[in-house]
Chains A and B, each alone.
Chain A
Amino acid sequence: MGRYSGKTCRLIFMLVLTVGFFVAELVSGYVGNSIALVSDSFNMLSDLISLCVGLSTGRIARRSRRGPRATYGYSRAEAVGALSNAVFLTALCFTIFVEAILRLARPERIDDAQLVLIVGTLGLAVNLVGLLVFQDWGACCRRRPHDPPPAAARPLPGGDPAGQADGAGDSPNDQKCPEEGPKKKKEKKSEALNIRGVLLHVMGDALGSVVVVVAATIFYVLPLGNAPCNWQCYIDPSLTVIMVFIILSSAFPLIKETAIILLQMVPKGVNMQLLTDKLARVPGVSSLHEVHVWELAGGKNIATLHIKCQTPTDYQDAAYKIRKVFHEAGIHSVTIQPEYIDHKTTQLLCSSPCISKACDSQLCCSQRDPPLAKTNGYTEKNDSCLPALHKDNGSSKNDIEIPIESPLSEDSVKNVKNCGVSKQSQLSSTRL
């Protein structure tokens, strides 16, 4: 695997460039005794920080080896990094906005217009280079060598077994998973998230440089001398306010997109209603509940669900078809828990949520409220409808039901205690 993929290469290049320019601006600012230069150099510093965040999260995400601390690896690091960058940028915009308002309240002139103009132009040049570098995908280095391994693995076995494998498994729906296209797109999507965070910063910086150049040009061309501030002094702050709004309007979509991943929302392009409808129509499935679909990162969707079936063979037949439904929807990691119908619980409720009722608050979805049909659970219509009420699971909270059909409850008391104890230990340990 190449150590330097296109993305890292670009980031490192920008990093070096930005560091160089930051140092140069800082030095010249102190030598030339210009505060404007020093403050502009700090803009570069914030750019640097965002680049570092982007680089490091990219590294972490790529190295995502699954381990005892993270069973999914760290592929989400890019989303978290993008969110951090976007929030960081928002905070910076806020402070810039505050300064602009202060300037509007008490306008000041630009003193050394020429110096500011020169450095501003240089800064703009650096930022434009950065923008170009990030926009051009194939500019720097080769793309991440993701494509070779599967492509290589396919022809490797070659011949009959491959034919068989494809023949056996493939169904008319093969087009759903073509080799190159969506894969690249999905990769691009997750890369895009990370790079977009950095790109936002660079763009913000570029806009800032544009404002500096415009303001300095005006002062250079129409020098103010010792006259009191006229309209010229208001150009800088008002342009800055406009710039802040432009940046914020492009930061929020990025925040929204990372929110979709981080909040475990249903990924775009998956329609839960349709999906549950299709799933409910799979023969052998009496009802389903606890359907969860979420996106890990970069197009990898994961689903879990519980289905109720009559017999184990029902389950095995249904499982394949269920996977096919999910596959068509673009979800490729599915975990299906079968439950066999016992007439004690309603169709929509889980037969085996946890072994004790006291753990209800720690379930991802509380069992006390019947799940919303159509988003999280579905009963087939042809089934005789919800069996009559169970006085069961008594209203007493100490009633522990272990719904799987096996003799139980000798250790029911122990289980209650365990639930309480484990709750306690979690509470105390998740608090730092």
Chain B
Amino acid sequence: RWWQNRRARLLCMLALTFLFFVVEVVVSRVTSSLAMLSDSFHMLSDVMALVVALVAVRFAQRTRATKKNTFGWVRAEVMGALVNAVFLTALCFTILLEAIERFTEPHEIQQPLVVIGVGVAGLIINLLGLCLFNHHGVGGHGHSHGHGHSHSGRQHARGSLKPEQPPTDGEAALHREETSTLVENCSSSNGVSQEKLGDMKDDMTDLQVNGNAGHYPLDAEEVEEDSSAQLNMRGVFLHVFGDALGSVIVVVNALLFYGLWNPCPEDGPCFNPCVDNHCMENATLSQTLGRANKSEQKSITVAGPCWLLYLDPVLCLIMVCILLYTTYPLLRESALILLQTVPKQIDVHSLNSKLRTLEGVEAVHELHIWQLAGSRIIGTAHIKCPDPSTYMMVAKRIKEIFHDEGIHATTIQPEFASVGSESGRGKCEFPCRTQCALKQCCGTAEDSTAKKTEKSSSLSISCSEVVIEFPKTRRTKSESIPSVKLESNTDQNEQFESSL
């Protein structure tokens, strides 16, 4: 079904919202209502959020490595989610400011009927959007059938036996034309690589191996709505949700206004107690008092009730609170992924200890786990073994341990302690030079000249590295800096290294 395709949903909503924006602008011109015009720009901000999400989805479909990005662009959706979340927070901030200003200077709503009409229409569109982007529903539908052709989420250069072939060609063409807003100078190279992809498709069909003759197993397609895609959709969902809340407020306010507000008639004396207008007050007061003296039967129209004017800002404040409360988790989650943190479900300590307790593993250092996007978790480690044959025996077990944790893309670097070196078992055998310390991802490579071994220079490039192990006891930062001492304290409890 087409509506399960993320991009189709986004495009549909984009078209609807933009159309509605245009309609609102026209209506505001016709009725010359400024409030309508300003409300229409809320729709425009929605359009922008949708555009950001669309761009992210388009990017994220290129999962192949390119010259500019060796991981493919899968992270684009996480970044799109972050951008949307920050954008939404900023909009909340400006709504907050407007609400505060309204408190000090309340206005009445002109032409409440028109406002109600357009507000209801906007609300309907937003509710439609909510249904489209409801992330629970999305996940459920995604699992129900995993046919390749309904999801254009993955674009791989597969052999011609793929059922997805026609859309893929179309996609490739689209990608070639598309210019990225994020990274301009990239578009041509991506286009080139896509083209190469196209050429290579033909060459590669002979070389196709590994079960491309078959189809993707059905259950693998279930992960179509990867968690990074979910993040992206959540961002859009929150925007539409905020807009829906805004429409609700507009409609409620206009209804109440229409029902309860007692407007000042054009002619005749009117006393408006709500608007704090010093001169007018005195003038009308004196006038009305004067008139009242003349004839008590004439009633003075008093505009009111005043609390209606404060309803709008109050509701806006509540809406801002609700929005911020729901946006914060999205912000946090996408930021944590972008910060290269360890995914929640993985416990690095236990992983480390499992690795260390393997037979034949002397030490583990430079263990890094991070999440690329969605369920793709990447790990690297340096494993120190006595000799290559031991390594061959444990290599499989090591991969298994990682696999059990859910880390499937690993790079394990074996290091073999050189003959006769008593230096720290945890010392990295292949570090970079001393001066490069600050540029290593983690490592204040300090000179360990005291423990220079008699290794041939061909094996190590001069400096040594502090071991990154996760000890039971942590020493303070100040103790870890003088590294020369560190080498001599080689033992099980080497401390945390505080990086730069």
Contacts and interface: CB of A to CB of B under 8 A. Distances in A.
A36 to B, nearest CB: 11
Contacts, number: 419
Interface string B302-338: 0000000000000000000000000001100101001
A66 B468 CA distance: 9
Contact of A83 (B83, B91, B399): B83
A94 B461 contact: no
Nearest to A330: B439
A332 B195 CA distance: 33
A292 B496 CA distance: 27
A84 B89 CA distance: 10
A375 B66 contact: yes
Contacts of B196: 372
A296 to B, nearest CB: 5
A296 B339 CA distance: 9
Interface string B194-220: 001100100010010111111001011
Contacts of A369: 64, 156-158, 204
Contacts of A362: 223, 375-377, 406, 408-409
A204 to B, nearest CB: 13
Contact of B388 (A305, A312, A324): A312
Nearest to A77: B339
B179 interface: no
Contacts of A157: 447, 449-450, 484
Interface stretch (B288-296, B355-363, B451-459): B451-459
Contacts of B329: 432
B388 A80 contact: no
B121 interface: no
Contacts of A315: 388
Contacts of B20: none
A64 B499 contact: yes
Nearest to A398: B217
A262 B79 CA distance: 8
Interface in A247-302: 255-256, 259-260, 262-266, 272-273, 290-294, 296, 299-302
Nearest to A89: B90
Interface residues of B, number: 147
Contacts of B493: none
B10 interface: no
Interface stretch (B67-75, B259-267, B419-427): B67-75
B440 A367 contact: no
B408 A354 contact: yes
A430 B396 contact: no
A426 B345 contact: yes
Contacts of A316: 416, 459
Contacts of A77: 339
Given A332-B432, A358-B220, A317 B411 contact: no
A337 B90 CA distance: 45
B70 A266 contact: yes
A88 B89 contact: yes
Given A256-B182, A300-B439, A320 B76 contact: no
B150 interface: no
A64 B182 CA distance: 28
A178 interface: yes
A304 B79 contact: no
B143 to A, nearest CB: 10
Contacts of A360: 220
Nearest to B345: A429
B344 A319 contact: no
Contacts of A405: 392
Nearest to B78: A262
Nearest to B349: A68
Q: Which of B65, B330, B341, B477 has the most CB of A within 10 A?
A: B65
Nearest to A252: B181
Contact of B217 (A105, A356, A397): A397
Contacts of B13: none
A106 interface: yes
Interface in A77-111: 77, 79-80, 83-84, 87-88, 90-92, 94-95, 98, 102, 105-106
Nearest to B224: A361
A169 B433 contact: yes
B341 to A, nearest CB: 4
B432 A165 contact: no
A408 B63 CA distance: 31
Interface of B: 34, 37-38, 41, 44-45, 48, 63-73, 75-76, 79, 82-83, 86-87, 89-91, 93-94, 97, 101, 104-105, 139, 156-158, 182-184, 193, 196-197, 200, 204, 207, 209-214, 217, 219-220, 223, 227, 230, 329-330, 333, 335, 338-345, 347-349, 366-372, 374-378, 380-382, 388, 392-393, 395-396, 399-400, 402-406, 408-414, 416, 430, 432-444, 446-447, 449-450, 452, 457-463, 468, 470, 477, 481-484, 496-500
Given A67-B496, A291-B70, A363-B408, 13 more contacts: A71-B367, A72-B442, A84-B86, A106-B34, A161-B449, A162-B447, A165-B434, A168-B452, A168-B457, A177-B433, A290-B411, A360-B220, A404-B399
19 contacts: A35-B104, A38-B101, A65-B477, A70-B341, A72-B340, A72-B499, A91-B91, A150-B435, A168-B457, A169-B433, A333-B366, A335-B366, A349-B210, A362-B406, A363-B408, A365-B63, A366-B156, A371-B65, A426-B375
Task: List 10 A-B pairs, minimum CB-CB distance, nearest first.
Answer: A169-B462, A91-B90, A161-B449, A395-B211, A312-B388, A422-B406, A354-B408, A397-B217, A395-B214, A376-B65
